[in-house]
Amino acid sequence: VIILSIETSCDETACSIIRNGNEILSNVVVSQIESHKRFGGVVPEVASRHHVETITLVIEEALQTAGLSPPDLSAVAVTEGPGLIGALLVGINAAKAFSFAHELPLIPVHHIAGHIYANQLEEDLQFPLVSLIVSGGHTELIYMKDHMSFEVIGETRDDAVGEAYDKVARVIGLPYPGGPHIDRLSKEGEDSFNFPRPYLEPGSYDFSFSGLKSSVINTLHNHRQKGLEVKSADVARSFQESVIDVLTKKTIQAVADYEVENLIIAGGVAANSGLRAQFEILCQEQDIKLSIPALKYCTDNAAMIGAAAYHLYNNKAFGDLDLNGRNYIDIEEYSI
Ligand code: ATP
Ligand code: MG
Ligand code: FE
């Protein structure tokens, strides 16, 4: 089974060709970060325009690198949502045209399912499992008893963790997207501020990061007002330590409560070195089998969409040419 997959939900125009859900024949990712940087975040209209300019080239390059032509393919997969509607539509229309022209089945993929299945690029998922999704727009704990079966057991009540990273970075004066910069800077600092750890009520798997974010911003303002010197590295480290404490503690608790042996981490923030290291230590101590995607498959890419699409293909979960982009899709309803 050879699937060509397309991802345009945010600010990466991506196309990948993947065999049997884990063998990458090509993986092209064109990032628009440079265009959005000066605005301090993704500007939806700018994103759509870039996708339109790039999508055909990205698809052609993916085919060329793989040394394949359309008749060699089994299906075309595309991110249906969640994401920016104008951005999604560019990928979806390209996928529909490709599917119609070459008579290939069309497979709509949930973006977060894609992030989870990025782990399959390393080795097959083992069930039952708990997955922590930490990305620019999502912070969720999901229980999976089998392939493409999703039960959300906890989620953020306000900001996503990636969003908090990007906002804190902005206040410190770091470029967008701030996550990787905070990660790097935190290595030179100490957890001297001891910011709050938002655990919420006992037993809850939900998250909340807006209070932590405000606490960082207020502390910075107070120090600056008083003319006190603040070491950015210490702020970065203190923020990151709070995030790591909360994410690891809740996730390990969920693994214990749901009596699973397998844990997977997914999404852009799974690239965080501190978070990876802490999960590795805890999982080793507690005999939990941990899986985190390789760095380049943590942030948005199309290979992860192709990895998820493989199981949808096997279940003939195909879409029609009336497929539309959706800025929100409940992942539980998406289960098959
Ligand atoms: P979603 O997947 O929820 O729709 P998205 O696709 O925009 O959102 P991703 O591409 O999964 O998000 O991840 C981007 C986020 O990951 C950004 O917020 C970025 O700052 C964060 N990020 C990337 N690398 C790191 C890192 N090393 N440490 C912390 N955060 C990081
Ligand atoms: Mg992105
Ligand atoms: Fe994403």
Whether 166 has a binding-site annotation, put simply, is: yes
Q: Tell me how far the alpha carbon of residue 160 lies from the centroid of ligand 1, in angstroms.
A: 10
Mutation pick for ligand 1 pocket among 7, 12, 165 (CB with most ligand atoms within 8 Å): 165
Ligand 1: nearest atom to the Cα of 300 = 10
Ligand 1: nearest atom to the Cα of 267 = 11
Predicted TM-score (pTM) of the model is 0.97
Residues 6+ apart with CB under 8 A from 16: 4, 5, 7, 24, 26, 27, 28, 62, 301, 302, 303, 305, 306
Whether 133 has a binding-site annotation, put simply, is: yes
Q: What is the mean pLDDT of residues 27-49?
A: 94
Average pLDDT, whole number, for the chain? 97
Tokens 């974010």 identify what position? 213
**Quick one: angle between helices 85-101 and 44-66, nearest 10?**
30
In DSSP notation, 259-273 reads T-SEEEEESGGGG-H
- Percentage of residues of the chain with pLDDT beyond 70: 100
Give the tokens for residue 147: 């392939």
pLDDT on residue 221 = 93
Residue of the nearest CA to atom 16 in ligand 1? 268
Give me the torsion for CA of 149, 155, 158, 164, rounded to 10°: -90
Whether 269 is in the pocket of ligand 1, judged by its Cβ within 6 Å, is yes
- Condensed to tens digits (0 to 9), the pLDDT of residues 302-319 reads 999 999 999 999 999 999
- Condensed to tens digits (0 to 9), the pLDDT of residues 241-271 reads 999 999 999 999 999 999 999 999 999 999 9
Reference 5, options 108, 84, 101; nearest CA is: 108
Ligand 1: nearest atom to the Cα of 138 = 3
Q: Tell me how far the alpha carbon of residue 116 lies from the centroid of ligand 1, in angstroms.
A: 14
Mark the residues whose beta carbon lies below 5 A from ion ligand 3: 135, 300
Ligand 1: nearest atom to the Cα of 271 = 27
pLDDT on residue 113 = 98
Max Cα-Cα span within the chain: 68
Reference 120, options 334, 291, 331, 329; nearest CA is: 291
Q: What is the mean pLDDT of residues 33-60?
A: 95
Around Cβ 201, how many Cβ atoms within 10 Å?
6
Whether 80 is in the pocket of ligand 1, judged by its Cβ within 6 Å, is no
Whether 272 has a binding-site annotation, put simply, is: yes
Whether 114 has a binding-site annotation, put simply, is: no
Whether 165 is in the pocket of ligand 1, judged by its Cβ within 6 Å, is yes
Whether 78 is in the pocket of ligand 1, judged by its Cβ within 6 Å, is no
Q: Tell me how far the alpha carbon of residue 268 lies from the centroid of ligand 3, in angstroms.
A: 6
